A = this chain, B = another copy of it.
Amino acid sequence: MDRTFFRWKQQRLNKLDVSKKGSVDRDIEHVVSLLNGRDEYFTTSSCSGRIILIDGAPESSDVQKQNCVWLFVSHRTCTADDLMSPVAKSNGDAVFKFEPFVLHVQCRRLEDAQLMHSVAINSGFRNSGLSISKTGKIITAVRSTHGLEVPLTHKGKLLVGHEYIHFLTQVANQKMEENLRRIQRFYQNLQSALTVATLQKGPPTSQEPQDPSDSLDTETERKDKQSVYKGRRRRGQPQAECCHDDSSSSLQDLDDCLNLFT
């Protein structure tokens, strides 16, 4: 199993980046580097978060997104003026979107995927989840609920005023900044979790530390590490928003999930 994983990883790292952009976004290079530098993980796709304007055929659903024209893409904050010229090019139904950070990480073992998922939830990425293929590929998707999707034109005609577009870019920019804070939180939580996991389980080669005094894994220091998760737990608590909801059980489930390291 391990040999298969390393072969997959090797194949992945030797491949060309086939995305539109062709490279990892600058704001998440450190995250991708950290993961690809570990024996337990490699990334298969990522986006740091972006503000986009896409023009689709009227009445088409988002399933046909591949037929859309991309009028504007920014991985940073933007202004209303940045959008006015692209939006004027719309012939169909243009939709303004903020799409937050998304990351797909292939994981060596199920426990590695659980660690990644737990860190993601604790860092505010509440729509994260695992998938397991029949060939044994285990992938954790890190996803946020933190989006924005606003129709701006219909059949090429602008439906809102300049003032609204100005307000919209402010909202999107705030979401972009919150998104970057969450990425940083995710990176820090991930570093801590990987350090604790390495110390608790030994390195991937199963070598034990030569001298117990070399290990940071004292009771006090472990508690310090754990507090990263305990402190963050409340951010991820589900709210009783669902229509049919066993919230007390959901809270417990999440606590169980978030306490993977305790």
Contacts and interface: CB of A to CB of B under 8 A. Distances in A.
Q: Chain B CB within 10 Å — which of A127, A128, A132, A171 has the most? A: A132
Instruction: Label chain A's interface by main secondary structure.
Output: mixed
Interface stretch (A83-91, A146-154, A199-207): A146-154
A245 to B, nearest CB: 4
Q: Chain B CB within 10 Å — which of A19, A43, A114 has the most? A: A19
Given A45-B246, A131-B117, A139 B253 contact: yes
Interface residues of A, number: 85
A150 B151 CA distance: 8
A253 B44 contact: yes
A259 B134 contact: yes
B246 A44 contact: yes
A134 B256 contact: yes
A148 B146 contact: no
A242 interface: yes
A125 to B, nearest CB: 11
A20 B241 contact: yes
Interface in A164-186: 164, 167-168, 171, 174-175, 178
